Amino acid sequence: MSESNDSGPPEVASQAIEELSKFASHIGRRWRGSDNLPDLIDNELFSVEGRFHELGELSLREFDGVPALIRRDIGRLPIFEAAMLSHAATRIVVSAWGKAVPEHARYVFAGLSTRAISTVREIAILLDHGYAYGAKSRWRALSEILVVARVIAMGDRFTATRYKEHRWIILANERAKTGRTEWEANLPSPEVMKRRLVRRFGAEYAGLYGWAARITARRLGVTKPGWQHLQKLARVDEYIDRVHDAHHSVHGADAYGLLGTVEAGSGIFHAGASPHGVLNVARDTIRLFRQTLSAIFNICFKHADARKPSILQGIVEVHLLNLEVDLGWRIMSTNPRVCERYDSAMGDLWSEAMDLLEDDDIDR
C-alpha cells in the first residue's frame, strides 16, 4: 500500500508520474528562459487538465479502497465501535445527571466528551486508511482533554464555571495578539468580559490556565500555572513518551518528524498508506480514550454519584478495556519481538514469585 516498495508505485501514482513528466517536457521545449514561465504553464494546462482531473478521481477511489486492504492485512479495528458506544452513553447521561450536578459541570461534561469522541473518530479514519503516524498526532488533543478533565475534577463546585468562562480570556488575548478588534455579536466584547471575569475570579484568572489557578495554588503552591503544572496534577506520566511522539508528528519544523514518512523495512520515503504501526496506535488510542472518558465522568460524579450514569460509565469502561486487551493480544500475535519481551517479562515475574515462595518455605 506504500507509494514506494519493491514492486514499484501503485498504478495511479505511476500514471501521475508519467503524465506530469510528459507535461514538464512539453513545457521545457517551449520555455525560452524568460520570466513568463507561469503564464506559459497556465496557457498550456488546458491540454492536460482533464487527465489530471481523471487521475485525481482514480486516486480518490484508490484511497477509498484502502480500509479493505488494512482490514485484510491486520483485521478489524474497533475504534468506531468504541466511539459509537461512548457517544450513546454520554448522550443518555447528559439528561440523567439531574439538578444535583451544576449546570456548568454538565456543560463541560458534554463539551469535553464530544471533543474526545470527535477526536477518536478522526484517529479511526486515519488508521482505517493506513496513516498511523497522522493518527498519532491526534493523541496530542486527546491527552490534553485527559489532563483538563482530571484537573477540573479536583476542583470545587465552581471550577467548571471558571473553565467554561475562561474562553473569554483566551479570545481577548488572541484578539490582542492579532490586532483584530471588531466585534459584531450582540454581547459585551471579549475585552469587557475579561475585565469582569478578572474582577470576579482574581488577577491570576487572566493567565493562559488561570481557570486552574486556585487548584494549583492549593495543591502545588503555584498561583500562575503553566501546562506542566496541570500535567503534574493529572499524573499523566504514562503518556509522556507517546505525547512527545505526537508532537513530532504534528510539527514540520524538526527533522525527527521526517521518520514518519519512511516506510518500515525499506527505508524509502512514502506518502501512501501502510499497515505499519496501525495496531499499536489503535491499542494506545483505546487506552487513552478510556481513561479520558473516565476523567470526564468524574467531573460530574464528584457532585452526584447517580445510579444510571454509574452503570453507563461502567459499561463503557469495561467494554473499552476489553477492546484494549484484545488489541494487545493481536499485537503480540503479529509481532515476534513483542512476544519475546512478553515471555521474558513473564519469565522474570515467575522467577521472582518462585524465589519468594522458596524464601517463605525457608522462613517456616
The residues spanned by each domain of the chain are 1-64, 65-349
Kindly report the backbone phi and psi dihedral angles of residue 187, in degrees, each rounded to the nearest multiple of 5, phi listed first.
-145, 160
User: How far from chain centre, in Å, is Cα 348?
Assistant: 34
Rounded distance between C-alpha atoms, residue 298 and residue 321, angstroms: 18
Instruction: For residue 324, give the amino acid letter.
Output: E
Say what the pTM is. 0.83
Residue with cell 464555571: 161
Identify the CA nearest to 171 among candidates 215, 135, 206, 126: 206
* Per-residue pLDDT of the chain in tens (364 residues, 90 and over written 9): 444 443 344 688 889 999 999 999 999 998 988 778 999 999 999 999 999 999 999 988 988 888 998 899 899 999 999 999 999 999 999 888 888 899 999 999 999 999 999 999 999 999 999 998 889 889 889 999 999 999 999 999 899 999 999 999 999 999 998 888 788 888 899 999 999 999 999 999 999 999 999 999 999 999 999 999 999 999 998 877 777 777 677 777 677 667 667 666 666 776 778 888 899 999 999 999 999 999 999 999 999 888 899 999 999 999 999 999 999 999 988 766 655 665 555 455 556 655 555 555 555 4
Structure confidence at residue 94 (pLDDT): 87
Q: In angstroms, rounded to a whole number, what is the distance separating the alpha carbons of residues 69 and 276?
A: 12
- N residues, the chain: 364
d(CA 224, CA 226): 7
DSSP string, 91-160: HHHHTTS-TTS-HHHHHHHHHHHHHHHHHHHHHHHHHHTT-HHHHHHTHHHHHHHHHHHHHHHHS-TTHH
